[in-house]
Amino acid sequence: MKKLITSALLGGAIVGSLLGAGAASADNSYLVPSDLAPGTYRLSAESGSYGTYVEICVDYTCSFSDGMIKNYFVDEGDSEVVVIPPNAVMVNGDDAVFTPMG
């Protein structure tokens, strides 16, 4: 299945999607620092979603035991402060919006 990666900067918030052919939902993958710089962000869910799940990863496998730095669950309408550290290499998410803080 061919995948298309797109991202855009909208009103200061970073929104992206990794869509498979015929996919019904959007999944986001960002490379650090080329797509998403280390720093502090306000994480929220895309409008109309039920919420978001995000993983900050130290490697490309992002395994729960040794590749994941931290993960977050945020309900629609809520937000969470997320710090992407300099040693992160990838951020995976689902219906996620990252708004830079500071």
Q: What is the pLDDT of residues 14-49, one digit of tens each?
A: 444 332 222 223 367 889 999 889 999 999 998 888
Q: Provide the pLDDT for residue 28.
A: 72
pLDDT for 7:
35
Average pLDDT taken over every residue of the chain? 76
- Please compute the mean of the pLDDT values over residues 86-95 and round it to a whole number: 93
Phi, psi of 44 (to 5 degrees): -140, 170
Task: Please give the model's pTM, rounded to 2 decimal places.
Answer: 0.72
**Contact present, 38 and 32 (Cβ < 8 Å):** yes
* CA-based end-to-end distance of the chain: 39
pLDDT above 90 for 91? yes
Range of the domain at 69: 3-100
Say how many domains are in the chain. 1
- Residue whose token pair is 């299945």: 1
